[in-house]
Structure 1
């Protein structure tokens, strides 16, 4: 399989009044051509910052990339100038943002906003760009695209605006599409429509997709692999089958227990993850999830967990899964617990 995106040891921080927020801490992952992956986690876990850093949309200052490399088709994005990066955004990488109402320009027709990228990157003239824009609106399921191309964002519903955002992101047939919580502001029925649309477009266009979300429930049908983020780090990765059926990290298990299931007794209550994420101005010395974990051990407080390989496709950063912990049986002993 061809590697389309390779993120290596990425760390991003923000200077704020109280100090330096270490939003992303030593994140590494790869994705392959035509693959769909999900990056999941609570608000503040570093998902959106990771996506925005790939797009080079982090405002500097206050943000800064402390270390790392991001390769798209073997091209290091972090070494490009802003002018060079403008040729990548919307062309090789498309992005769907959380709220289409604030992402779309209210003073421009949707057609003009779609045609903007086509004219800049593909050098299409006005007539050809308009024809392509109508084709894209039809592709994403906008009815009467010939007339709606001349309308403004406020004349569209929330779901239709998100479809317009998808059309803009796909206009130049990017090799990578980043969807940053594309269904957050939509009701459940429209969520399903948008996810099915993305799934169909991935099959047709062979586009690689990164889905950023806090909801594990919406990734099961569209994604091949799942990366679980917590406190700015990837704590577990695996195929969707492994994550849903054999989660290894206590945080992943907590996320799954907080979701309703069709095979679950209706009287059985959902179990929330108690506590709050750590302050990333002063990140924990050991495991970031230690203070919220019922199975935490003494070592979890002071030593960052090593990466433990569970299978060829699954790995986890948790001392409970370390071979030494399993051999000694210490996770079950009272002395080992915090």
Structure 2
């Protein structure tokens, strides 16, 4: 079905095929969710087609089927260098990786009138949504996320808990609304719980403005904001932010995140130790998300996205230009 979706998006489908896709999308919420995932990859391959080195950029078909110009080559001593035949757009490769590594559980529904969609999870369920702007949301158990679909608006409504990796767009702030208050960001990664009168927000990267009826605060990386109706919000520094997002398990999401920060999270989450042969490599950025514990796949994909060579030996990774 992915092939048919791409044919329709590229204007290559016949009227019969277009009707077939429409019927498939309308038959279940899972089908509609898959359509938006594939459409997101297709859209980004079209927006970022430039090539920085020799070798062709992979098409949406190649990305969704796991193809493309990169390859893994074994070497002596059990090391696995990852070599780039061509560097294609970082976000496209990252989103394709997310599709290839799989999604979580959850439920999806379209809102009447086409004004938005809604995701919700039951007890013990989690799911991941990639929004139209590239923002990635990991929805915690017993939570509900409503996504507004209006031109020029980046706004969601949350009841429960979620982790956000927000695509950067200085001209359009991203707003998370809830019964206890709102969070406004330009591009960042944060964990927020908004239930009833209580709001709790932890920032891992960037800055977030929190607005509640009893006051406004700005929260930076490594800080926790807490607010309850009837009292002013408070902000405290957190010594171990990673411990506070343990509910994510092995799920990781990055949005223009420096490779040095990615390395720290690989060590904290998966016990993978990263060594940079050139300090400049730590400043390169990565965008994408990974939803399953597939360590043998995560490291090569990150290396491919960042355009670095990697040698892997056990739980140690050496990154070089």
- TM-score between both structures, scaled by the size of structure 2: 0.31
- TM-score between both structures, scaled by the size of structure 1: 0.29
- Structure showing the higher strand proportion among its residues: 2
- Structure showing the higher helix proportion among its residues: 1
- Report 1 or 2 for greater relative contact order, CA contacts < 8 Å, sequence distance ≥ 6: 1
Between structure 1 and structure 2, the one with the greater Rg is 1
